[in-house]
Chain A
Amino acid sequence: MTYTQKRVIANSIVMALSTLSALIGIGFLLWILSILIINGVDALSMTIFLEEGAPPGNESGGLKHALIGQLMLVGYASAFGVPLGIMAGTYLSEYGLKSKLSETIRDISDIMMSAPSIVIGAFVYAIVVAPSGQFSGWAGSIALMIIMLPIILRTTDDMLQLVPSTLREAAFALGTPKYKVITQVVYRGAKAGILTGVMLGVARVAGETAPLLFTSFNDNFLNTDMSQPMASLTVTMYNYATSPYEDWQKLGWAAAFILSMFILTLNILGRLFLLKRKGK
């Protein structure tokens, strides 16, 4: 067998194996999605969006409380977590760069990123819930913000460092003050990357259940007071899906479906935005 033939064979084996692996991965994803769609769409109805929780058995319950609670929890977490993460990432890349402090911050956020979210839930329970004596929306948002922070911080840091230093130098060479170099030139260069980091961070916390069990807990009715326990899609889904009542289980499927679609849309939007920027 010639060397070329060997190479051709090796190539086709590797290609077959990697294609197979990709298909298996995609297969599971499609399986999950199809079951979600079958059960979720079946459970969907207008009542879900219009009604709050109801006792089992009377088929009149909805998920309005959980939807609004979810949006509020994630919304407040993002409102504080996104600017904080971007600013911290900016510090790392533009001011600290190689300093001991920034290397330490990088290491700690890498560890935080892989920390089990339930640990963060327990932490917020200890510092917010226990002293205040009650579960609250704020505690939930704080937990989500802590989980979101390292993701946004590190992607911002990475994306800013990808901006070529010559671009910064060119801006400085025109007599631009540093803060304008960062906000007007460097941010623009890294815009798509930072936005993707933000979307991924938001999508990540939107699917969290464990930290919310310790913090915002749950509420079967609509509550928009952040200082009170608050419903979320994830915790509601957990409660309903594990309940023995068929109509609650159906609502659980609907919650799973809505949540997945929300996260999927967020991811697809993020990627579309990236593509559009690249195509320009």
Chain B
Amino acid sequence: MATIVDITEEQALKVKNFEFTYAGSDEPNIKKLTMPIAKHSITALIGPSGCGKTTLLRSFNRMHDLYPANRYSGEIIFKDRNILTKNEDLIKLRTQIGMIFQKPTAFPMSIFDNVAYGLRLQGVKNKTELQDRVEKALQDAAIWQEAKDRLKHDANGLSGGQQQRLCIARAIAVEPEVLLFDEPTSALDPISTAGIEELIVGLKERVSIIIVTHNMQQAARVSDYTGFMYLGELVELSPTEELFVTPKERLTEEYITGKFG
């Protein structure tokens, strides 16, 4: 049986009996998973490849709906409603639950337009307001110093680490409540990685964060809670220190000590 810590503080998301099957597959990728996500804290999802952690992460903003014939059941409760229902407004949901991808995904436009993109979508037209909010987002994402003199330049001229921070700026500019990070540093060098990690920790005051990572040290460094997933199930969810120092499940211990993975 899984060990899932009781989260006494407020919860940003609640996963209940969630099951997910990819198109063309008979075997569910996630099996009857139940998991609380604490508000204003960082939850890391770890586990071997194929354990379903990215699949779970992409369920929170219904990314799977972009591709036909994926099947899912159960509930994900966000702001007192089940976001898995058919009449969920996905456009609105995705402005409330933002996402950062593994590879930086700067749009082929200027740095300024990248960050302003989400704001313009939400109807912000006022030039001064746009400028203020873009500047604030870039500052919060710790890239203002590098970007301020070339806001009009193509965003693809930035380095990988800078582009990833730009993507974070773009995501936080629209002030989401939850941010999903899908292995955000696996394409980056160690220095950029350290910068992004620092940034993630700094953001939890304002947003609830879920981060999928292959890097256990990274989970240990940044997160408050860590969930270990294996074969589509949540084996253990504990406060990060407990999970890494005194894991309750044998499987967790074997994974974090490198016996498999």
Interface on A for B, CB 8 Å cutoff?
Answer: 164, 166-177, 180, 184-185, 188-189, 191, 280
Closest chain A residue, CB of each to CB of B174: A174
Minimum C-beta distance from B209 to chain A (A): 15
Q: Considering the chains assembled together, what is the distance between the CA atoms of A175 and B122 in angstroms? A: 9
Q: Considering the chains assembled together, what is the distance between the CA atoms of A191 and B156 in angstroms? A: 15
Contact check, A166 vs B94: say whether CB atoms are below 8 A apart: no
Q: Considering the chains assembled together, what is the distance between the CA atoms of A164 and B171 in angstroms? A: 19
Contact check, A174 vs B101: say whether CB atoms are below 8 A apart: no
Contact check, B66 vs A172: say whether CB atoms are below 8 A apart: yes
Within 8 Å CB of A170, what residues of B?
A: 99, 101, 105, 107, 167
Minimum C-beta distance from A204 to chain B (A): 27
Q: Considering the chains assembled together, what is the distance between the CA atoms of A76 and B86 in angstroms? A: 46
Can you spell out 10 A-B residue pairs with CB atoms less than 8 angstroms apart?
A164-B103, A166-B102, A169-B66, A170-B101, A170-B107, A172-B63, A173-B99, A174-B94, A174-B121, A175-B95
Minimum C-beta distance from A23 to chain B (A): 37
Give the residue of A172, A188, A280 whose beta carbon is less than 8 angstroms from that of B107.
A188
Q: Considering the chains assembled together, what is the distance between the CA atoms of A84 and B220 in angstroms? A: 54
Give the residue of B95, B107, B157, B170 whose beta carbon is less than 8 angstroms from that of A167.
B107
Q: Considering the chains assembled together, what is the distance between the CA atoms of A174 and B157 in angstroms? A: 22
Minimum C-beta distance from B122 to chain A (A): 8
Q: Considering the chains assembled together, what is the distance between the CA atoms of A173 and B95 in angstroms? A: 7
Within 8 Å CB of A164, what residues of B?
A: 103, 105
Closest chain B residue, CB of each to CB of A177: B91
Q: Taking chain A's interface residues, is the majority helix, strand, or loop, or is none over half, making it mixed?
A: helix
Q: Considering the chains assembled together, what is the distance between the CA atoms of A176 and B102 in angstroms? A: 20
Contact check, A185 vs B107: say whether CB atoms are below 8 A apart: yes
Q: Considering the chains assembled together, what is the distance between the CA atoms of A168 and B67 in angstroms? A: 12
The contact string, 1 if C-beta is below 8 Å from chain A, for chain B 112-128, is 00000110011000000
B47 within 8 A of A: no
Nearest first, the 8 A-B pairs at minimum CB distance are A170-B105, A175-B95, A175-B94, A173-B99, A188-B108, A174-B118, A175-B91, A189-B108
Assuming A166-B101, A174-B174, A175-B92, is B108 touching A185 (CB within 8 A)? yes
Minimum C-beta distance from A98 to chain B (A): 9
Give the residue of A168, A174, A177, A184 whose beta carbon is less than 8 angstroms from that of B170.
A174
Q: Considering the chains assembled together, what is the distance between the CA atoms of A221 and B42 in angstroms? A: 78
Assuming A166-B105, A167-B105, is B66 touching A174 (CB within 8 A)? no
Apart from A174-B95, A174-B121, A280-B157: 20 A-B pairs, beta carbons within 8 A: A164-B103, A166-B102, A167-B107, A169-B105, A170-B101, A170-B105, A170-B107, A171-B117, A173-B63, A173-B98, A174-B94, A174-B117, A175-B92, A175-B93, A175-B118, A175-B122, A175-B174, A176-B121, A180-B121, A188-B108
Closest chain B residue, CB of each to CB of A98: B68
Q: Considering the chains assembled together, what is the distance between the CA atoms of A164 and B108 in angstroms? A: 12
Contact check, A174 vs B171: say whether CB atoms are below 8 A apart: yes
Within 8 Å CB of A180, what residues of B?
A: 121
Q: Considering the chains assembled together, what is the distance between the CA atoms of A173 and B63 in angstroms? A: 7
Q: Considering the chains assembled together, what is the distance between the CA atoms of A166 and B163 in angstroms? A: 14
Within 8 Å CB of A184, what residues of B?
A: 117
B154 within 8 A of A: yes
Closest chain B residue, CB of each to CB of A280: B154
Within 8 Å CB of A177, what residues of B?
A: 91
Within 8 Å CB of B93, what residues of A?
A: 175
Within 8 Å CB of B91, what residues of A?
A: 175-177
The contact string, 1 if C-beta is below 8 Å from chain A, for chain B 46-80, is 00000000000000010100100000000000000
B2 within 8 A of A: no
Most buried by A among B63, B91, B167: B91
Within 8 Å CB of B102, what residues of A?
A: 166
Minimum C-beta distance from A274 to chain B (A): 14
Closest chain A residue, CB of each to CB of B94: A175
B109 within 8 A of A: yes
Give the residue of A166, A175, A176 whose beta carbon is less than 8 angstroms from that of B103.
A166
The contact string, 1 if C-beta is below 8 Å from chain A, for chain B 139-177, is 000000000000000101100000000010011001000
Give the residue of A169, A176, A189 whose beta carbon is less than 8 angstroms from that of B63.
A169
Within 8 Å CB of A280, what residues of B?
A: 154, 156-157
